[in-house]
Amino acid sequence: METNNLKAKYKVDLNSYMADGDANYVRLLKIFPDISHSRERKILIFNTGNHILCLQVLERTPYTTLIKLHEETGEYLPCKTINSWLTLPQLTLRLYHDAKMAEIVSLDGVRNLRPRYGQLNKNMYQPDEKSQCNQFLSEWLEYCLEFGYDAALVV
């Protein structure tokens, strides 16, 4: 039989997925501490060519908050121009306050990312696409905590 040559099917590592979600929730609250009553927060990141990361509250419910995370350019920057070959994708995040967890629910307008994809799919997603997106969010938030400044205080 040829089954020995086939790759094992990807299995979601739930512990790792939940740990990323928990850590992202904590990072988001550090970056946006007044999330319960503010509409947006802008973070200026100097060493990336003066980018502004905007966190905008789209929806609040008693147990969740929906946030759009995107990059802004130009108007708030001291140099008024951005020379960047790489832009941050637009992310939509849901914070679950009762579970103290955050996850990406949309990436560049693609909603409902599945936790697992087959090896061949029409969008060419990786088997662990959603997990990779949440890890990407972790890295960006950690970067913002290390190198970011409140844009309202800097400008």
Quick one: pLDDT at residue 138?
93
Quick one: pLDDT at residue 131?
77
Residue with tokens 């929906």: 66
Helix H or strand E encompassing 92: strand 91-96
Task: Name the residue among 10, 11, 9, 16 with its Cα closest to residue 103.
Answer: 16
pTM: 0.78
User: Cα dist. 150→55, 113, 119 in Å?
Assistant: 12, 31, 42
Quick one: pLDDT at residue 148?
85
β-strand 110-111 against 101-107: which pairing, if any? antiparallel
- pLDDT digits over 102-145, tens only? 998 888 766 676 666 666 666 666 667 777 788 889 998 998 89
Tell me the average confidence (pLDDT) per consecutive run of 10 residues in the chain, 155 residues long. 55 81 95 94 75 91 95 57 63 94 83 66 67 86 88 67
With beta carbons less than 8 A apart as the criterion, state whether 17 and 5 touch.
no
